[in-house]
């Protein structure tokens, strides 16, 4: 029997989860309910009770960090008895071990290598070049994303059934076939192969499947709500002999469908594994009751969920704050003021701003730099350090000052103009020899016919555009915002982002739109460039007390004393694209994301939205997110600016200096008008 020491500090539900060893078990572990403690105690119990040896336990996590933490905790409980947990690790690390032993079964040698992302991109580029495929139209990253999607669904190239209506699938499948053949020839795998190959081996060879399914007497899986099809299939095959599988997770925190995660794995667990026992961990050790009540009420609007009710183990705490602001600038000011106000109660390191989209950090970064609040970006880059922003700024710098060689180097071949590194090198050498800047040197070398024909054409076009844009700025007195829009259009930079199918391009375009918004705050180009120089001169210093900024996706698994959740407006959150592409399931995932955001807060949560947002060059009327209507009033504290239910949005005092375009309306505004009718 389990020594009482192992049960120390476990509540009733946690004890039940630790002690229930036989048969399939689904542990529905709410946010902050101590799931890691349960998993580690359960492993300790299995070993201590002599139900299995350490090497007969398969414990799977999603990250190396989680695996290491689990190993450490078990070792702290069992000491030397924990030695031998050789099958504790990530999905990928465990599949590598299986694949090394049985590599010939999938036409590989046991010494196969694993390619990283850069090698994958290089291989795809080579294939595209050989097959005369234009990577400007079909980006290698997008190709790899679709290949990875097929692998997550369990498909080798010959098993893919193409949707004939999807032109991308039709064009990429032949690439997938060549790509997979090349990987085999090189005796290598990508990360998708590791699980796919392992599954195919288990499916095809019954004797191999018997070895592992007999050996693994107990299987434990962390964050089960994040599993995809192939991971679920792998687990299913390994439970064939011993049906002792325990999966821990929270369906209300399933927010990674865009990465292939399938929530139905969690929701249909009891259908996949007969006689499943479900235990709910509902005691929360992280947040106050008011925070949990707000989060629980919100998530209850989702239909596809197992269901649970979180209860706090601490006091009710502060009410959740709900703030309405006139515009985004006011929102950033209001949040910074609130941070300064509560700084004696809460340290900056324990304060976080969680946004739906990464472009939203810009307004807060500007405000924090202005008033001197230190901050860090987690899981991302500071706004003015993002590649697409640096590209835009480089164009503007070069137009403003032709001697800016660094800017010239950055954008002379961006987008591609057939100006390779060898051409740039000879321009640089000429520049050094003649003590002239790169742009002047380029013009002279073209005059003297010192550039190869293909590069000469591209370089000539680029230099002509620079002259035209300088004329726009200095002679035509074009506004600096309009100037950047013109540059992006005429250089082909915008078209390159829009046309090239790349999973990251949507975010890049949003950042550029936000840059255009930022430029409106400055009277001229000189003032804006000076501001950028000052903003980028401050290094990303990770030490010391700093406010944490990140997306809600990046915040999963983290916790903070204080959490600010700005931008709760229709179209932004829930994100319009998510609803358009996935309908009800997309809306429910957005609501789960809101739930994750709120439950990161331990002591204080502050939700906010603005009534006006500058979007794509115009001020638009925003509407509060539908999620705000789903927050229970009794647990909320609203600011004084919050509109009365009978108050018309038109009563807000707009800045009269700003030109508005009445033809542009947010999705929320449209919904609001329908509501009025």
Instruction: Say if CB 359 and CB 375 are below 8 A apart.
Output: no
- Respond yes or no: is residue 600 known to be catalytic: yes
- 3 state SS of 516: helix
Question: 376, 397, 456, 600: which one is catalytic?
Answer: 600
DSSP letter string, 26-80 = EEEE-TTS-HHHHHHHHHHHHHHTTSS-GGGEEEEESSHHHHHHHHHHHHHHHGG
What angle separates helix 480-490 from helix 505-519, to the nearest 10 degrees? 150
Question: 231, 253, 289, 360: which one is catalytic?
Answer: 253
**How are the residues of the chain apportioned to helix, strand and coil, as percentages rounded to the nearest 5?**
55, 15, 30
Distances (CA, A) of 107 to 185, 187, 230, 237, 468: 9, 8, 20, 21, 58
| b/e sequence 419-440, b meaning 16+ C-beta within 10 Å | beeebbeebeebbeeeeebbbe
Distance CA(254)–CA(302), nearest Å, equals: 12
CA 5 remoteness from chain centre: 40
Query: What are the tokens at 128?
Result: 């595209």
Minimal CA–CA distance to 356: which of 507, 503, 558, 501? 507
Distances (CA, A) of 181 to 111, 127, 167, 294, 460: 18, 11, 22, 52, 42
Question: 222, 338, 514, 588: which one is catalytic?
Answer: 222
Beta strands in 437-556 (DSSP E): 547-551
In sequence order, the β-bridge partners of residue 29 are 281
Label each residue of 214-272 as H, E or C. Answer: HHCCEEEECCHHHCCHHHHHHHHHHCCCCCCEEEEECHHHCCCHHHCCCCHHHHCHHHH
- Respond yes or no: is residue 35 known to be catalytic: yes
* Phi/psi-derived region of residue 616, left when phi > 0, alpha when psi is between -120 and 50, beta in every other case: left
* Phi/psi-derived region of residue 11, left when phi > 0, alpha when psi is between -120 and 50, beta in every other case: beta
- 3 state SS of 312: strand
- Respond yes or no: is residue 222 known to be catalytic: yes
Helices (H), 300-420: 328-341, 361-371, 387-400, 405-411
Question: 190, 193, 223, 590: which one is catalytic?
Answer: 223
Q: Which residues contact residue 385 at a Cβ distance below 8 angstroms, ignoring those fewer than 6 apart?
A: 536, 540
Question: 15, 36, 241, 385: which one is catalytic?
Answer: 36
- Rg of the chain in Å (alpha carbons): 28
Length of the chain: 677
Question: 14, 35, 190, 280: which one is catalytic?
Answer: 35
Q: How many CA atoms lie within 13 A of 20 on its CB side?
A: 21
Catalytic residues: 35-36, 222-223, 253, 600
């Amino acid at each position: 029997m389990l020594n009482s020491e192992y049960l120390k500090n476990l509540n009733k539900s946690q004890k039940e989860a630790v002690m229930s060893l036989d048969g399939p078990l689904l542990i529905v572990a709410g946010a902050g309910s101590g799931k890691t403690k349960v998993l580690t105690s359960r492993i300790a119990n299995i070993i201590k009770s002599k139900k299995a040896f350490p090497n007969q336990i398969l414990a799977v996590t999603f990250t190396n960090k989680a695996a290491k933490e689990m190993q450490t905790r078990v070792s702290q409980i069992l000491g030397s008895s924990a030695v031998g947990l050789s099958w504790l690790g990530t999905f990928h690390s465990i599949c590598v071990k299986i694949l090394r032993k049985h590599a010939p079964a999938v036409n590989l040698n046991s010494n196969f290598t694993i390619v990283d992302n850069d090698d994958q991109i290089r291989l795809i580029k080579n294939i595209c070049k050989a097959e005369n495929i234009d990577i400007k139209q079909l980006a290698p990253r997008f190709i790899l994303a679709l290949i990875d999607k097929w692998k997550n669904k369990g498909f080798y190239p010959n098993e893919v059934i193409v949707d004939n209506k999807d032109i991308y699938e039709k064009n990429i499948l032949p690439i997938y076939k060549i790509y997979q053949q090349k990987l085999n020839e090189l005796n290598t795998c990508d990360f998708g192969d590791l699980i796919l190959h392992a599954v195919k081996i288990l499916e095809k060879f019954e004797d191999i499947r018997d070895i592992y399914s007999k050996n693994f007497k107990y299987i434990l899986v962390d964050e089960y709500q994040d599993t995809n099809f192939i991971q679920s299939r792998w687990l299913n095959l390994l439970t064939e002999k011993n049906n002792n599988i325990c999966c821990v997770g929270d369906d209300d925190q399933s927010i990674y469908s865009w990465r292939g995660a399938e929530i139905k794995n969690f929701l249909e667990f009891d259908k996949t594994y007969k006689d499943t026992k479900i235990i709910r961990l509902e005691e929360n050790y992280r947040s106050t009751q008011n925070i949990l009540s707000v989060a629980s009420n919100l998530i209850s609007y989702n239909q596809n969920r197992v269901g649970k009710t979180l209860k706090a183990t601490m006091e009710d705490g502060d009410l959740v704050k709900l703030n309405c602001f006139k515009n985004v600038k006011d929102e950033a000011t209001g949040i910074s003021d609130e941070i300064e106000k509560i700084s004696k109660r809460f340290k900056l390191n324990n304060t976080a701003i969680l946004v739906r989209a990464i472009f939203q950090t810009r307004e807060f970064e500007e405000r924090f730099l202005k008033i001197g609040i230190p901050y860090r970006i987690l899981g991302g880059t500071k706004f003015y350090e993002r590649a697409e922003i640096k590209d835009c700024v480089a164009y503007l710098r070069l137009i403003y000052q032709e001697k800016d060689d660094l800017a010239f180097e950055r954008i002379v071949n961006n987008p591609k103009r057939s100006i390779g590194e060898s051409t740039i090198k000879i321009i640089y050498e000429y520049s050094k020899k003649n003590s002239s800047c790169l742009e002047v040197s380029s013009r002279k070398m073209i005059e003297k016919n010192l550039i190869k024909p293909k590069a000469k054409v591209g370089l000539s076009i680029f230099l002509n555009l620079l002259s035209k844009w300088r004329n726009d700025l200095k002679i035509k007195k074009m506004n600096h915002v309009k100037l950047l829009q013109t540059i992006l259009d005429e250089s082909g930079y915008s078209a390159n982002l829009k046309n090239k199918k790349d999973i990251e391009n949507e975010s890049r375009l949003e950042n550029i739109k936000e840059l255009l918004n930022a430029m409106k705050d400055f009277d001229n180009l000189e003032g804006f460039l000076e501001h950028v120089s000052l903003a980028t001169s401050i290094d990303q210093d990770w030490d010391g007390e700093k406010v944490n900024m990140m997306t809600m996706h990046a915040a999963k698994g983290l916790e903070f004393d204080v959490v600010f959740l700005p931008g709760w407006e229709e179209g932004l959150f829930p994100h319009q694209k998510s609803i358009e592409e996935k309908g009800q399931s997309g809306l429910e995932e957005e609501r789960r994301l809101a739930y994750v955001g709120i439950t990161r807060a331990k002591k204080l949560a502050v939700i906010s939205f603005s009534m006006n947002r500058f979007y794509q060059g115009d001020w638009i009327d925003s509407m509060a997110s539908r999620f705000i209507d789903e927050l229970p009033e009794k647990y909320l504290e609203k600011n004084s600016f919050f509109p009365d239910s009978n108050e018309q949005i038109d009563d807000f005092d707009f800045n009269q200096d700003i030109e508005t375009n009445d033809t542009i309306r947010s999705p929320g505004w449209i919904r609001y008008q329908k509501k009025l009718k």
